[in-house]
Structures are given as structure tokens and as C-alpha cells.
């Protein structure tokens, strides 16, 4: 049950990440470097806090001292992660969250098919049907979103404020005039 809860939490948070990144780019005009810096700083602080809280920080440090190759491997992994973050933020900034979601759908499908071919896994008809169903729905959602980007009536509902007197922030508005300060 704990694993299922973590999976649902991961999917929920993963689903809001790229739209929030796009909102930060458009509303507050942040750079991809700024977002990467703050996300990584907060992640490092959360990790440090958890390790301090559960008492594993000193064991981790002594383990790194006993196995110096671990630091080299960690640096390689960190470089790969920073590179992928750079491309993710670049794609979200230049093309939007929807194009990034479509790209990730293609990557996941390619990864699944490569795994089946590489490791000679057998695949049942029900699994094939499920793959077509899930990825068909994801591709349809991405395609319909991409097709409606130029249609002003398709995004009308998203531009309408929930509160009649609320102001919708625009790219031209500075952050302090976005109407969010009055919400508190």
C-alpha cells in the first residue's frame, strides 16, 4: 500500500512539474539556470535534513571515505542529471509543457519497447492492448493540446478567472502586480 501511495504521489507531482515550470517562465520571466539552481538547492537541503533527522549522514560520509570510487560515480551521475535537466528546462521554455509531455510519452514508449526487445521478454495480447490504450490516450491528449494551441477559443476557459474581480497575470505584468498579493 505504501508503494502504491508513493507511485500516486509521484504521478501527481510529476504531472504538475512542467506546467509549473512553464508558468514560472511566462509569469516571472525566470531563467532555466535560476530554476535549476533553486530546485537543486532545495533538493540538497531536503536530502541533508532527512539524513540528519534519521541519523544516516555520518554513516554516508564514512561510506564515501571508505569507497572513494563512489564519489567519482556520483559526479558522473550528477553531470548526467544536470545535462538532462538543462535539456528539459530548455524544451519547456522554448516549446512549452505540452511538447515536453509528448516527448516524454515517446521516450517512455521507446524505453518499454527497447526493454522487451533487448531482454527478450514475452508480451501478452493484454499487455499490447494496454500499451495501445495508455499511449494512444496520451498521444491523443498531447496531439489535441498541440492542435488547439493556435485556437483562441480552446484556451478561453483557462484564461477566465475563477473570481470575477481577479486579474489574470500576463507576460507583460511584473510579478508584484499579478493579483496574487491580494489573495493573502
Structure-model confidence comparison of residues 9 and 170, the more confident one: 9
pLDDT of residue 147: 81
pLDDT at 52 over 90: yes
Structure-model confidence comparison of residues 61 and 173, the more confident one: 61
pLDDT at 155 over 90: no
- In order of 3, 16, 26, 100, 184, the CA distances from 105 in angstroms are 23, 15, 24, 9, 38
Average pLDDT over the chain, rounded to an integer: 83
Structure-model confidence comparison of residues 167 and 125, the more confident one: 125
Q: Which residue reads 542529471 in cell numbers?
A: 81
First to last CA, the chain: 37
Nearest to 158 by CA among 14, 4, 26: 26
Radius of gyration of the chain (CA): 21
Structure-model confidence comparison of residues 172 and 7, the more confident one: 7
Structure-model confidence comparison of residues 138 and 9, the more confident one: 9
Return the beta strands (E) in the chain as ranges: none
Q: What is the pTM of this model?
A: 0.66
- In order of 5, 8, 43, 83, the CA distances from 1 in angstroms are 6, 11, 26, 34
**Residue 167 region by backbone torsions, left for phi larger than 0, else alpha for psi between -120 and 50, else beta:** beta
The long-range contacts involving 134-142, CB below 8 angstroms and separated by at least 24 positions, are 135/105, 135/108, 135/109, 138/101, 138/105, 139/102, 139/105, 142/98, 142/101, 142/102, 142/105
pLDDT band per the 50, 70, 90 thresholds, residue 176: low
Residues 6+ apart with CB under 8 A from 40: 85
Section 124-143 average pLDDT: 85
Distance CA 107, CA 2 (A): 27
Amino acid at each position: 500500500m505504501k508503494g502504491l501511495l508513493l507511485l500516486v504521489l509521484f504521478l501527481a507531482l510529476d504531472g504538475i512539474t512542467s506546467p509549473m515550470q512553464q508558468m514560472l517562465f511566462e509569469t516571472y520571466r525566470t531563467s532555466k539556470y535560476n530554476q535549476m539552481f533553486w530546485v537543486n538547492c532545495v533538493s540538497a537541503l531536503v536530502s541533508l535534513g532527512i539524513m540528519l533527522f534519521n541519523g544516516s549522514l555520518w554513516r554516508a560520509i564514512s561510506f564515501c571515505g571508505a569507497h572513494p570510487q563512489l564519489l567519482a560515480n556520483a559526479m558522473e551521475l550528477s553531470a548526467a542529471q544536470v545535462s538532462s535537466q538543462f535539456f528539459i528546462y530548455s524544451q519547456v521554455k522554448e516549446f512549452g509543457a505540452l511538447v515536453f509531455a509528448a516527448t516524454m510519452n515517446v521516450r517512455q514508449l521507446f524505453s518499454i519497447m527497447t526493454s522487451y526487445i533487448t531482454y527478450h521478454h514475452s508480451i501478452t495480447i493484454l499487455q499490447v492492448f494496454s500499451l495501445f490504450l495508455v499511449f494512444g490516450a496520451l498521444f491523443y491528449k498531447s496531439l489535441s493540446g498541440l492542435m488547439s494551441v493556435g485556437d483562441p477559443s480552446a484556451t478561453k476557459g483557462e484564461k477566465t478567472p475563477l473570481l470575477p474581480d481577479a486579474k489574470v497575470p500576463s507576460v507583460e505584468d511584473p510579478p508584484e502586480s499579478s493579483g496574487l498579493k491580494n489573495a493573502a
